Each structure stands twice: as structure tokens, then as C-alpha cells.
Structure 1
Amino acid sequence: MPRSKDNLLQAWAVDDQVFARTATAAERLTFCLRYAILAPSTHNTQPWRFVISDDTVLLCADRTRALPVSDTYDRELTISCGAALFNLRVALSHFGCPYVIRIMPSSAEPDVLASVQISDEGFVDGQIAALFAAIPNRVTNRQAFDPAPVPPATIASLQAAAEAEGVQLAPTANDAERLRLADLIDQADRIQLGDPRFRRELALWINASRRDDGMASYSASAASLLDFASPILATVVRTFDVGGGLAASHRRLVEGSPLLICLATRSDDPENWLLAGQAMQRVLLTLTAQGFDASFLNQPIEVETLRPAVGAMTGSGDSPQVLLRVGRGPSQVHAPRRALEAVIS
């Protein structure tokens, strides 16, 4: 029997009062993973799985959910897993569970990205615990934003959040600079959507047959152009070049967004990608806590020939990892999530 829309969104309604502080370490980890899986991911692929043993959980990359065309090296996959890791850290800190994290704990097992152990010798981070309430409220908002400027104090708090995770955040609020980035995003859209392989990959994740993952409702930002909830439109995207119209739609969103931010790392390797994912989620939760919205505009970072230009335009250096637009938009519903049981063992 198909799951109803309400059932698909139940993952977002975690009752934190049910948490049992006297439960076993494995049970506490399992409960906190209900918050980890609320992290954002490219195309809502949710490319993570978790292995629990006694007092430790392993965060693993689920490469069966990779995007080989747009994310050839699993960079964004790893960033998504980093976001899930940050949510787990927040939940553990909120519930007073000291933890020890080991990043890339085994060179022989590259799919194991991190281990998190509940331990009396571990750490509870009071600063990130304050972001706990923002986890179920965060939503990717692809609608047009109010043009009102983002206050300097908010921008400063975003930079501090990224730096706390070892990542640089470069803001772009100047009109001329945003327009130059809009040109770059427009160019990247046309390159990607002009590639039939990319369109086939995208069509897999916008198909209405997907119930607990993907982007069947992606049309929120381009409703007049494409209804991605339609299986017929998934076929259109897969078969025809719709790049011009969608690129124009993305450009309008950029031009109407009061702030763009770029997250960058010092190096470009899986460990830094995982750092970028944690910083990204810390920034997103900080935005949510302050009443702001965000959505992703990673296209020029995904196109390898354009990626250096993003770093040059934003002043973020040679390894830009995530490009976000920030503002205040109309209320949005959450994207569905797979059941915890589907991603845990």
C-alpha cells in the first residue's frame, strides 16, 4: 500500500520527550539518528547509512545513491553525509551524551566516513546544542525571497558558524557581484541541462514514483515552467534540453536573493568535504534559528571548468564546496525522508 504524504513526513515530527537518558548507548544513538537523517542532501538522495555496535555508530557513504554525472567524485555525497553527522552531534549534545568522533577512521574502508562513540571521556558541545530546535524547522526553500537585506550581525554569525567547523564562508551581498554570480549560474545551468546524461540522472530523482526521497515537488521554484510532479515531465527532462527556461528561472532567483554565501575549504579531499558538510549544516541551522531561509545553487561548483571562477568571484579560494542563496521566503513543506529502519543496521 502506498504511503500517504503525512506518513512520508512523519520523520520530521520527532518527539524529543521520548528520549530515555537511562537507555543503553546503542538505544540513545539510535534515537539521535532520527535527527541525523533530517539533514539536506543533493537531489534529496539521502546517501547515508549507519551501523550501530554497542556504544558506537559508523557513518557510511551509501554509494548506491550517488550521482555519477553531476557528482563524479562523490564530493557532494560526502558533504551531505557531513550534514547528517553535524545533526547527530547537535542531538547528542542536546541530550547530554558525551561523544568522541573519529573522522575517516579506517583507510581500508573508505565508505566509513566517521565513527561516533558515546563515552564518558567525550565532549558535549553546549554551543551547538542550542541549535537543536532548528533541526526539524530547517527546510530548503526554492521560492523567491524577500529582497530586504540580511543584517550584518546575521552574516557575522554565519561566518563564525563556518569558522567554528574549520571552513571559510564568503558572503556576496553587493548587487554587481551577485549579478556576476548569476551569470555563472546561468552558464552552468545551460551546460548541465544541455547534457543528456545529466538530464537522465536528474529525471531519476524528480520522478513522481519516488515516495520517500528525490524531488517530486521541485517545481516550487519554476512552477510556470515545469511540473516535476508529473511522470510525463520527468520524461521531458530526460529527453529534451530544457536548459534555457530553467536557467532563466534560477537566474531570477539569484537576482532576487539578498545574499549569496560560498563555503570553501583549504584542501579538496574527502576529509575536507566532510568538514564542509558539517559547516554547511551549522550555517543552515544558524539561519533557521534566526528566521532565514536558504537553498542551493551548486551548479557552477559541479561544473569543473567553472568551479575556479566561483572561488575567484566570491574570494573563497580554490576549493569552493557549497553555494547558497539566503533570505526570507514563504513557508515551505519538508522533503520526505526514508524511514530510519531503511538506513540503519
Structure 2
Amino acid sequence: MNTGTSEAISRAARTAVDAAIWAPSIHNTQPWSFALSGDEISLRADPDRKLRLADAAGRQMLVSCGAALFTVRIALRAQGCEPEVRLLPDPERPLLLATVRVRPGAPPDEHTRLLHAEVERRRTHRSGFTALSVPERLIEALVAEAAAEAAHLTPVRADAAVRVLASLTGAAQAVQGEDRPRRLEIMRWARPPDSGRRDGVPAAAYPAEPRRTYPEHFAQRDYAGSRQWGGETDDRLSSATGLVAVLTTPGDLPADWLAAGQALQRVLLHGSAYGLSVAFHTQALEMEELREFIRRHVCSGEHPQTIMRLGFVLDELASVRRTSSEVLDDDG
């Protein structure tokens, strides 16, 4: 590899890390770090950012890191590079989740450019949607995107199943809301108004008061608690439940969690390109007995990795991310 090519590869790798910081993560914890060494990017989990009560096994942490990994891949392909990925390459270093070697590749196709353009535009939604339905062709495309990453996105069509998921979400939220240690864990990631922090959930990113969605209500996280935080939403225009869907994997090991995260980001970026927003409801999946019930009775035996609502909104708020220098180790 000549010097010019080597320098181009290094620039592409750094640009991919710059993109990866925009990946979604549970409560915007951003539980990842990266290292650059020549033509290789290493992705590591950051256990200091794991939810120790809600995510004791680290499943949601790895789903989040999987989303960052897909973002690295799409950012490299958008620059005409080919990522060579090794998942969990060293059993003795379980926090090393993946290595990505950057190779020369083909110019990006239209689909790659479409997804890459949404990396910084995509936002997580935390309220109701407009009454506009998600087009069937878009749903089919999202299902195909998840399948491309060895995961399954299943739209929940049956009213009874939607009611079950809504009820279990509400039950889990009620139980967790009475658990003081869990409330404190959530509060760690709730940013006060005008906070200068570059992680966590901004105060304006959720309604100041709980908002019902119709026809089925999915309980939202209580980030504000007794504090007068939160933004305002117009219930007359944004109160629809939207399309409920579950992302599942056949297995339930770290490699499956990483696959789920890659599938999730692929779905989110494709949806964002067509104006679609997504709200997440993982409360019930943080209680193993409820997660097992959902696996057996809603997901046909597959392992649920996230529950979401999809729909259209009138506007979206800005997001916050740490800078790449805060998450990157460079060997020079």
C-alpha cells in the first residue's frame, strides 16, 4: 500500500468514527469507545456507561454498540471503502466487540448514500405520532433491511398483541417507577435544562407531562421525576400510537445482540430517509420474566431485542453527542 493510499485509508477510518458517535444508544449513554491503528478500527464496550440494574447482562449496551458498528460500516462504504469486520475477535477480551479493517472498495451505490445521509439527521422520538399511517411498501423495505443483518423486524398487526405489549410496557414502567435504585439510574442519564453535557437525554426531548397515545397507550420513561423538566407537545396533532414492531433475533448471545444493533440502525436510517421516526419501549424487556413471556407468546420463540413504535412527527429536536476525541484512542 503506497503512502497516499495509506493516508486515505486513515482519513476514511477517522471519518467513520466521527459518524459512529451519532448512533442511537439506550438513554443516549453512548457506551462505546474506539481505537485506530493503521487501517484497523477497534470497537469496545464502555462498561462505565452500562445500566447496571436495567441491563445487568449488557445486552442493551451491545445492541447500542452494534448500531455504532453499522454506522462505521456505512460511513466507510460511503467513502468508497470496504469494511472487513471481525466480531468478538478475542475471547479473552470480551469488551473488544469488533475490529474493522478498512480496504479499498467500490464507489457507493445509491442505497449506501441514502442511508449515510441520515446518520446525523436521525432522531429518537419520545411521544405520540401524527395520524398518518406508515405506507406498506416502506414497512416491507424496513423488514428487508433488518433481514439483511440476520435479524427480524415484525410489525405487530393483531390488535390483541399490541394491547399485550402496551400492557406489559405499562406494568414494567409502574414497577420500575417504584424501584428507587432504578429511578436513580435513570436520573443519571436525564440532562437538566441548559446542561452542557454531551450525553444522556435532553430535558426538551420528552413531554413535560405523560402523554397518552391512542388507540393503545405505551408508557414513556419518567426522566423528569418530580422535576419540572420536559418539552411541550400538541396532543391534538401528535397522539397516535403509530405502528408497533418488535426486532428479534434467533439467538440471544453477544453476537446476536450486536447483530440486532446493526439491524436496528439500518432500519432507523432507512426509515429516516422517508421521514419516519421511531420511539423505543424496552421497559418490559428489562424484566426477564416479561421478556420471556413476550418471546414465547408474541415473538414465536425468537428473542425480542427491542420494542418500538414507528410513525411521522411534525418536528424533531436537536440531539447531543460526545465528540470523537472523547471516545477515540489513536496510536498515532
Letter paired with 2:197: R
Q: 1:73 matched to which residue of 2?
A: 57
Q: 1:33 aligns with which of 11, 14, 17?
A: 17
Q: 1:157 matched to which residue of 2?
A: 141
What is the DSSP-based 3-state SS (H/G/I as helix, E as strand, rest coil) of the residue aligned with 1:77?
helix
1:291-330 matched pairs, under 5 angstroms: 291-330=275-314
Post-superposition Cα deviations, 1:9-61, rounded to whole Å, max 9, x if no partner, equal xxxxxxxxxxx988342222011211111001011110000011000010000
Q: Does 2:198 correspond to 1:212?
A: yes
What is the DSSP-based 3-state SS (H/G/I as helix, E as strand, rest coil) of the residue aligned with 1:189?
helix
Q: Does 2:253 correspond to 1:269?
A: yes
CA contact (8 A) 2:40 2:102 kept: yes
Q: 2:208 matched to which residue of 1?
A: 223
CA contact (8 A) 2:257 2:305 kept: yes
CA distance in 1 between partners of 2:242 and 2:200 (Å): 28
Letter paired with 1:189: Q
CA contact (8 A) 1:92 1:124 kept: no
Deviation at 1:135, TM superposition (A): 1.2
CA contact (8 A) 2:248 2:299 kept: no
Q: 1:52 matched to which residue of 2?
A: 36
Aligned residues: 305
Deviation at 1:222, TM superposition (A): 2.9
1:215 and 1:160, CA in 2 relative to 1: closer, same or farther beyond 3 A?
A: same
Q: 1:10 matched to which residue of 2?
A: none
CA contact (8 A) 2:284 2:290 kept: yes
Greater CA drift, 197-206 or 327-336? 327-336
Q: Does 2:69 correspond to 1:93?
A: no
Deviation at 1:303, TM superposition (A): 1.4
Q: Does 2:139 correspond to 1:144?
A: no
Deviation at 1:171, TM superposition (A): 0.6
CA distance in 2 between partners of 1:183 and 1:210 (Å): 36
CA distance in 2 between partners of 1:309 and 1:100 (Å): 37
Deviation at 1:234, TM superposition (A): 5.7
1:143 and 1:255, CA in 2 relative to 1: closer, same or farther beyond 3 A?
A: closer
Q: 1:201 matched to which residue of 2?
A: 185
CA distance in 2 between partners of 1:116 and 1:123 (Å): 17
Post-superposition Cα deviations, 1:117-159, rounded to whole Å, max 9, x if no partner, equal 0124x78874444311111211111131012321211111111
1:21 and 1:189, CA in 2 relative to 1: closer, same or farther beyond 3 A?
A: farther
1:101-140 matched pairs, under 5 angstroms: 101-120=85-104, 126=109, 127-140=111-124
CA contact (8 A) 2:130 2:239 kept: no
Q: 2:216 matched to which residue of 1?
A: none
CA distance in 2 between partners of 1:320 and 1:123 (Å): 35
Letter paired with 1:91: A
Deviation at 1:260, TM superposition (A): 0.9
Letter paired with 2:16: C
Structure number with the higher helix fraction is: 1
CA contact (8 A) 1:36 1:85 kept: yes
Letter paired with 1:211: R
CA distance in 1 between partners of 2:196 and 2:300 (Å): 36
CA contact (8 A) 1:178 1:255 kept: no
CA distance in 1 between partners of 2:188 and 2:242 (Å): 32
1:297 and 1:316, CA in 2 relative to 1: closer, same or farther beyond 3 A?
A: farther
Deviation at 1:163, TM superposition (A): 0.5
CA contact (8 A) 2:129 2:239 kept: no
1:261 and 1:110, CA in 2 relative to 1: closer, same or farther beyond 3 A?
A: same
CA contact (8 A) 2:80 2:106 kept: no
CA contact (8 A) 1:169 1:316 kept: no
Post-superposition Cα deviations, 1:252-280, rounded to whole Å, max 9, x if no partner, equal xx982221111111111111000000000
CA contact (8 A) 2:12 2:79 kept: no
1:55 and 1:21, CA in 2 relative to 1: closer, same or farther beyond 3 A?
A: closer
CA distance in 2 between partners of 1:316 and 1:212 (Å): 39
CA distance in 2 between partners of 1:124 and 1:108 (Å): 37
Identity among equivalent pairs (%): 35
Q: 2:66 aligns with which of 82, 104, 128?
A: 82
Post-superposition Cα deviations, 1:226-285, rounded to whole Å, max 9, x if no partner, equal 9xxxxxx86747xxxxxxxxxxxxxxxx98222111111111111100000000000101
CA distance in 1 between partners of 2:307 and 2:68 (Å): 18
Q: CA RMSD in A?
A: 2.6
1:260 and 1:107, CA in 2 relative to 1: closer, same or farther beyond 3 A?
A: same
CA distance in 2 between partners of 1:165 and 1:178 (Å): 25
CA distance in 2 between partners of 1:128 and 1:303 (Å): 37
Letter paired with 2:139: I
What is the DSSP-based 3-state SS (H/G/I as helix, E as strand, rest coil) of the residue aligned with 2:305?
strand
Structure 1, unpaired ranges of 5+: 1-19, 227-232, 238-253
CA contact (8 A) 1:158 1:286 kept: yes
